[in-house]
Amino acid sequence: MLEFVYSPFAEFEFMRRALVGVIAIALGGGPIGVFLMLRRMSLTGDAMAHAILPGAAVGYLFAGLSLPAMTIGGLVAGVVVAIAAGLVSRFTTLKEDASLAAFYLLSLALGVTIVSLRGSNVDLLHVLFGTVLALDDNTLLLLAAISTITVSALAVLYRPLVLECVDPTFLRSVSRAGTPTHLIFLGLVVLNLVGGFHALGTLLAVGMMMLPAAASRFWTNDITLMMVVSVAIGMVSGLAGLLLSFHAELPAGPAIILAAGGIYAASLLLGREGGLLWLAWPGKHLEA
């Protein structure tokens, strides 16, 4: 068993790089996913993941598979879509979820079209599903920087973010930090999605945010502990997915998300906070 887990990472450098990359993604994306879930913005994360595609595609069009060009393009596109969707929902009768859906569908179609203008089907697959087994030093440094920035920013903004999850009206009544906190949080979402994009592609990047966060909710009600559990589930999912990919010869990105989905399904069944088995057999805490 130890040989099954250890040997791929001992023998192959690309497996070690991939593991470091998914650990970095889990460190930043796990806590962000928890706050997206608690703020009922889970589908917003999915929409933003698609929104970064046109910017990354424009960077690809001009510079090929260039890390700086695609990163800057993705960041710009994500911020523009977030602002545009907010303005549409504020000044028209369209709600924010509907405006985000419209923008993300347009972004996905535009991004795929731009990549197709220059690249091959292989390039398109790399953009959509990532290249987690081909992470170089610069990409690993980018992922590490994003996770560091995210954890540091969340440490500073933790209290207003929690207040906004619990009672946004109270936060607005006692402080003006609500709007800046929300904007910074959206920036962190875009930043982590751009990082995840380089490893898992635009279609799978949000999976490492939302699946561990959703699974963690079945194990605890404490927000801090929920973030810790989410990070741990993300790391375990990355390790399990890479091993599944290596031994079963499956695509690495989808294998990682499938592993996270398996942990989510197990949490849904066995979790102490609302898991199906615990609801079926609630135990002594409901007895007279």
Per-residue pLDDT tens for 170-214? 666 777 777 788 888 888 998 999 898 888 887 788 899 999 999
Q: How many residues does the chain have?
A: 288
Whether the predicted pLDDT of 217 surpasses 90: yes
Residue 92: predicted pLDDT = 78
**What's the pTM?**
0.86
29 located within any domain: yes
Residue 288: predicted pLDDT = 46
* Domain that residue 76 falls in: 2-277
Tokens of 280: 């079926």
Torsion, Cα of 213, 214, 220, 226 (10° steps): 10
30 located within any domain: yes
260 located within any domain: yes
9 located within any domain: yes
Q: Tell me, what CATH number does 182's domain have?
A: 1.10.3470.10
285 located within any domain: no
Q: How crowded is the C-beta side of 155, counted as CA atoms within 13 Å?
A: 7
Instruction: Please answer whether residues 38 and 223 qualify as being in contact, where contact means their C-beta atoms are separated by less than 8 angstroms.
Output: yes
20 located within any domain: yes
Q: How many domains does the chain have?
A: 1
228 located within any domain: yes
